[in-house]
């Protein structure tokens, strides 16, 4: 067994709307990320996966619960005490167009983390490191003085990745890193991420709504719905034998790029997504679940172990 | 053969910018028959949305249709005035866009927006327009239509908003529905619902032109597929032919990239390089700089679209058994 790198316990995030109401974005998530693995977090928009990702790296303070990195609690630390952990925990954003300052040259964009964390002192040292990083992510080194708008989407994502690996982090949260890219470029970036993982021993938390991408990149998968974990386990096991009804619907909604499979009956989810402001009682998926019973409305299912998978469903627990 | 619902022939659409002429669409011909679903697939900047906008007469300055014909049920659209086009848009051809939130009026109740489409095109009493709007909203699967009629767009989920858009597009029962990335902004479980709805519309006789970068959407919906690259159609085939026997190296690259995600190999198949700049296209085949089978001729000579089998056309010098059309 590999060692646990990051653990979260009962992590919750509420965003207040007004005095009375709030959005329950993440509701009590407990999970662990092992050293060297890729844990995928999947779910539809508004399920809290990005909010969870930001709390994992300490970029967003949780309402309650704690995050532990290599056994040390990093929640509620003062900025000065948190600094060493920030170097270990990095983020790659979805939109490479919006996440880079358009007025900065590539050399300065990639140098920024090195300078902020005082890793390099002399100007020469910085340039050498930046060139090394550009090479590592497959950017032509003679583009050193170009601005973000002079790059394609895929190249911009490479800049974002170079910034994230600049400080030799242990864990990178990749938040939809290829969703804004074209298919042919998407695979280039996925190959780069897996190559970097192998060479640098990185651990990834890979947030995505694209299940075919997730199946390829991840070792374990965590399925979220309305801020809660529905199912978590080894990727292949979840894909081959999904236990939670929501996971089943989610997997069924993947449109196969194969016209021979088009006449199979489509399983459609009924009803409308519930509101995170006023979530249903009991199981949060029950208003859309075809198997829901009275028990699902009265009591929230716990995340229970079923072999190597954990599932939050009363029906599975039987 | 009787008239296709839509026939586009040798369409050229360009943008005249300070950097010169950007050829967004070059020599595109396509046909959509009655009740047929025709797909255009390609990556960003390949001109697929510009084909749709050209058909709708929605190319804005500095863009312009340079030449070509667009026939709707035999009627030429390119020579019509803006006023004439207005009577056709929404009545004979409708379009559904990617982002329902930006295409709906945020200050107007959704029912009224559907009703408005009816009153613009027909002189009918308000009650009748309302009845038809309700019917259209019901037909696209909106639950509790009476209650939702008075909702504002922000009060609806993304899936419901896209259904409202489709109801607006379908309320006049147009012959042709153009759907430009209709599910790209939606969640997977909602996407399958919208795909099922578009399938249903086609079964009742509506012709559909669907534009998407998603090969899954195309495989599930389209009867015929046009693959576009750098403004040109590079391959055209029935959906089964295209997925089973792709001929153009670009189509093969796209399908390979998608299917390698489903395979076991750790390294994914990619297409090297990037899409060319439309203002400075290479002299020969636009795909040549990224093509692993490129020969000397590819760099100097633009290949023609040639027929290689029944209804299968490809724009590649290396296509076997090709006879020029």
CA–CA distance, B93 with B117 (Å, rounded to integer): 12
HEC string for chain B = CCCCCEEEEEEEEEEEECCEEEEEEEEEEEEECCCCEEEEECCCCCCHHHHHHHHHCCCCCCEEEEEEEEEECCEECCCCCHHHHHHHECCCEEEECCCHHHHCCCCCCHHHHHHHHHHHHCCCCHHHHHHHHHHHHHHCCCCCHHHHCCCCHHHCCHHHHHHHHHHHHHCCCCCEEEEECCCCCCCHHHHHHHHHHHHHHHHCCCEEEEEECCHHHHHHHCCEEEEEECCEEEEEEEHHHHHHCCCCHHHHHHHHHHHHHHCCCCCCCCCCCCCCCCCCCCCCCCCHHHCCCCCHHHHHCCCCCEEEECCEEECCCCCCCCEEC
Is the pLDDT confidence value at B322 over 70? no
State how far the Cα of A88 lies from the Cα of A83, in Å rounded to an integer.
9
Smallest Cβ–Cβ distance between B219 and the set A188, A257, A272 belongs to A257
Determine the residue of chain B that is closest to A261 in CA distance: B220
B267 touching A (Cβ < 8 Å): yes
CA distance to partner chain A, nearest, from residue B187 (Å)? 6
Average pLDDT over residues B265-270: 88
Q: Which of B145, B188, B277 to mutate to test the interface with A (most CBs of A within 10 A)?
A: B188
Average pLDDT taken over every residue of chain B:
91
Domains of chain A by residue range:
4-317
Helix axes A183-200, A153-165, angle to 10 degrees: 20
Q: Is the pLDDT of residue B85 over 60?
A: yes
Of A183, A194, A259, the CB nearest to B254: A183
Mutate to test the interface with B, among A179, A182, A196 (most CBs of B within 10 A): A182
Distance from CA of B148 to the nearest CA of A (A): 13
Which residue in A44, A152, A257 is closest to B189 by CB distance? A44
- Whether B230 shows a pLDDT value over 80: the answer reads yes
* Alpha carbon of B202: minimum distance to chain A alpha carbons (Å): 15
**A contacts of B192 (beta carbons < 8 Å):** 252-253, 255, 266-268
**Helix B126-139 with B158-170: angle, nearest 10 deg:** 130
> In chain A, what residues touch B225 (CB-CB under 8 Å)?
none
Round to whole Å and give the CA distance between A22 and A26: 12
Answer whether residue B101 shows pLDDT above 80. Answer: no
Radius of gyration of chain B (CA): 21
Mean pLDDT of B21-31: 95
What pLDDT, on a 0 to 100 scale, did the predictor assign at position A97?
A: 78
Question: Closest Cα partner for A220 from A65, A56, A48, A2?
Answer: A2
Q: What is the pLDDT of residue B3?
A: 73
Q: pLDDT at position B186, please?
A: 82
Q: Distance of alpha carbon B133 from its chain centroid, rounded? A: 25
Which residue in A198, A257, A287 has the most chain B C-beta atoms within 10 A of its own C-beta, making it the best mutation to test that interface? Answer: A257
Cβ neighbors of A20 (< 8 A, separation 6 or more) are none
Decide if B79 touches A, using CB distance below 8 A: no
- Do the Cβ atoms of B254 and A260 come within 8 Å? no
Whole-angstrom CA distances from A258 to A73, A217, A263, B127 are 48, 21, 11, 46
- Can you give the pLDDT at residue A153? 87
Report pLDDT digits (tens) over A219-239.
999 999 999 999 999 999 999
Measuring CA to CA, how many Å separate B260 from each of A212, A215, A216, B253, B273?
A: 10, 11, 9, 10, 18
CB B271 within 8 A of CB B13: no
pLDDT at residue B325 in the model: 37
Which residue blocks in A140-182 are alpha helix, DSSP H?
Answer: 153-165
- Convert the pLDDT of each residue in A132-174 to its tens digit: 999 999 999 999 999 999 888 889 999 999 999 999 999 999 9
Q: Do the Cβ atoms of B191 and A209 come within 8 Å? A: no
Pick the CATH number of A4-317 from 3.40.50.300, 1.10.10.10, 2.40.50.100, 3.50.50.60: 3.40.50.300
Answer for the pair B22, B279: CB distance below 8 angstroms, yes or no.
yes
- Give the nearest chain B residue to A263 (CA atoms): B220
% of chain B beyond a pLDDT of 90: 71
Sign of CA dihedral A148, A151, A154, A155: negative
Among residues of chain B, what percentage have pLDDT more than 70? Answer: 98
By Cβ distance, the residue of A185, A213, A261 closest to B261 is A213
Domain boundaries, chain B: 6-92+174-324, 101-173
Q: Which tokens hold the place of A124? A: 């020469």
- Predicted complex ipTM: 0.85
A182: nearest CB among B44, B160, B220: B44
The pLDDT-based confidence of A106 (bands split at 50, 70, 90) is very high
Q: Residues of B numbered 136-155 whose beta carbons fall under 8 angstroms of chain A's beta carbons: which are they?
A: 143
Burial of B12 from C-beta contacts in 10 A (0-12 / 13-18 / 19+)? middle
Q: What is the pLDDT of residue B324?
A: 41
Whether residues A154 and B274 touch (CB distance < 8 A) is answered with: yes
Interface check B187 vs A, CB under 8 A: yes
A69: left (phi over 0), alpha (psi -120 to 50) or beta: beta
A93, A59 Cβ separation under 8 angstroms: no
Question: Which positions in chain A touch B187 (Cβ < 8 Å)?
Answer: 44-45, 209
Chains A, B: CB contacts under 8 A, how many? 113
How far does B264 lie from chain A, in Å, by closest CA?
Answer: 8
Say yes or no to pLDDT of A317 above 80.
no
Q: Does pLDDT of B27 surpass 60?
A: yes
Q: Which two tokens mark A305?
A: 């172990």
Nearest CA in chain B to A192: B267
Closest CA to A109 of A158, A163, A54, A65: A163
Are the beta carbons of B216 and A261 separated by less than 8 Å? no
Q: Determine the straight-line distance between the first and last CA of chain A, rounded to whole angstroms.
A: 29
Q: How confident is the model at residue B187 (pLDDT cuts 50, 70, 90)?
A: confident
| Cβ neighbourhood burial of A280 (10 Å; 0-12, 13-18, 19+) | middle
CA distance A95 to chain B (A): 14
Q: What pLDDT, in 10s, does the model give residues A4-36?
A: 999 999 999 999 988 889 999 999 999 999 999
Residue B72 binned pLDDT confidence (cut-offs 50, 70, 90): very high
Q: Is the pLDDT of residue A263 over 90?
A: no
Lowest mean pLDDT among A62-71, A267-276, B11-20, B308-317: A267-276
Q: What CATH number belongs to B6-92+174-324?
A: 3.40.50.300
In this structure, what token pair is assigned to residue A168?
A: 């030799």
- 8 Å CB contact of B157 and A272: yes
Report the pLDDT value the prediction gives residue A1, as an integer from 0 to 100. 56
pLDDT of A202: 97
Chain B residue with minimal CA distance to A264? B220
Radius of gyration of chain A (CA): 21
Is the CB of residue B216 less than 8 Å away from at least one CB of chain A?
A: yes
Residue B25 CA, chain-centre distance (Å), reads 13
The answer to whether residue A130 scores a pLDDT higher than 50 is yes
Kindly list the residues of chain A whose beta carbon comes within 8 Å of any beta carbon in chain B.
44-45, 152-155, 182-188, 190-191, 194, 209, 211-213, 215-216, 249-250, 252-262, 266-269, 272-273
pLDDT averaged over chain A?
A: 93
pLDDT value of position B321? 53
pLDDT digits (tens, 9 = 90+) for B132-177: 999 999 988 888 899 899 999 998 888 889 999 999 999 999 999 9
Coil, helix or strand for A241?
A: coil
Q: With beta carbons under 8 A apart, name residues in chain A contacting B243.
A: 257-260
């Amino acid at each position: 067994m590999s060692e646990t790198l990051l653990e979260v316990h009962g992590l919750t995030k509420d965003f207040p709307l007004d005095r009375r109401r709030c959005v329950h974005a993440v509701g009590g998530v407990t999970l662990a990320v092992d050293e060297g693995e890729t844990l995928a977090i999947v779910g539809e928009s508004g399920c809290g996966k990005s909010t969870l990702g930001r709390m994992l790296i300490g970029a967003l303070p949780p309402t309650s619960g704690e995050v532990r990195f290599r056994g040390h609690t990093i929640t509620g630390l003062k900025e000065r005490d948190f600094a060493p952990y920030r170097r270990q925990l990095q983020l790659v954003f979805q939109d490479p167009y919006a996440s880079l300052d358009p007025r900065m040259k590539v050399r300065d964009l990639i140098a920024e983390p090195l300078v902020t964390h005082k890793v390099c002192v002399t100007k020469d040292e910085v340039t050498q490191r930046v060139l090394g990083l550009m090479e590592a992510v497959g950017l032509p080194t003679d583009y050193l003085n170009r601005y973000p708008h002079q790059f394609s989407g895929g190249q911009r994502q490479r800049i974002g990745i170079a910034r994230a690996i600049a400080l030799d982090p242990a864990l990178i949260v990749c938040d939809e890193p290829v969703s804004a890219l074209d298919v042919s470029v998407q695979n280039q970036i996925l190959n780069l991420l897996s190559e970097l993982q192998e060479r640098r021993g990185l651990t990834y938390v890979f947030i995505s709504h694209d299940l075919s991408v997730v199946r390829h990149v991840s070792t374990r998968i965590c399925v979220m719905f309305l801020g809660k974990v529905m199912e978590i386990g080894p990727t292949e096991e979840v894909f081959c034998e999904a236990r939670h009804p929501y996971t089943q619907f989610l997997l069924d909604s993947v449109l196969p790029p194969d016209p021979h499979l088009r006449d199979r009956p489509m399983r459609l989810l009924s009803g409308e997504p519930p509101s995170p402001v006023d979530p249903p009682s009991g199981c949060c998926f029950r208003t859309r679940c075809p198997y829901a019973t009275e028990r699902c409305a009265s009591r929230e299912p716990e995340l229970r172990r079923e072999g190597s998978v954990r599932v939050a469903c009363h029906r599975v627990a039987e | 053969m009787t008239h296709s619902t839509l026939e586009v022939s040798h369409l050229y659409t360009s943008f005249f910018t300070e950097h010169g002429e950007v050829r967004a669409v070059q020599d595109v011909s396509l046909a959509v028959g009655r009740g047929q679903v025709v797909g255009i697939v390609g990556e960003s900047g390949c001109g697929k949305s510009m084909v749709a906008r050209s058909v709708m007469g929605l190319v804005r300055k500095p863009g312009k249709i340079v030449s070509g014909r667009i026939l709707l049920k035999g009627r030429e659209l390119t020579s019509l005035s803006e006023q004439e086009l207005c009577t056709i848009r929404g009545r004979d051809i409708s379009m559904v866009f990617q982002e329902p939130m930006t295409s709906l009026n945020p200050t107007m109740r959704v029912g009224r927006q559907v009703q408005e489409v009816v009153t613009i095109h027909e002189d009918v009493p308000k009650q009748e327009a309302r009845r038809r709007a309700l019917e259209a909203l019901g037909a696209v699967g909106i639950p509790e239509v009476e209650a939702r009629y008075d909702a504002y767009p922000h009060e609806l989920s993304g899936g419901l908003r896209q259904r409202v858009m489709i109801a607006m597009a379908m309320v006049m029962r147009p012959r042709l529905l153009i759907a430009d990335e209709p599910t790209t902004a939606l969640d997977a479980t909602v996407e399958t619902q919208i795909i099922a709805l578009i399938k249903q519309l086609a079964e009742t006789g509506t012709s559909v032109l669907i534009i998407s970068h998603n090969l899954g959407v195309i495989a599930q919906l389209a009867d015929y597929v046009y693959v576009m690259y750098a403004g040109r159609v590079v391959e055209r085939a029935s959906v089964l032919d295209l997925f089973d026997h792709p001929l153009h190296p670009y189509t093969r690259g796209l399908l390979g990239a998608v299917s390698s995600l489903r395979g076991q190999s750790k390294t994914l198949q990619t297409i090297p390089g990037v899409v060319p700049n439309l203002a400075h296209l290479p002299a020969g085949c636009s795909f040549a700089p990224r093509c692993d089978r490129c020969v000397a001729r590819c760099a100097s000579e633009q290949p023609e679209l040639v027929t290689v089998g029944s209804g299968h056309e490809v724009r590649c010098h290396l296509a076997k058994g090709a006879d020029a059309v």
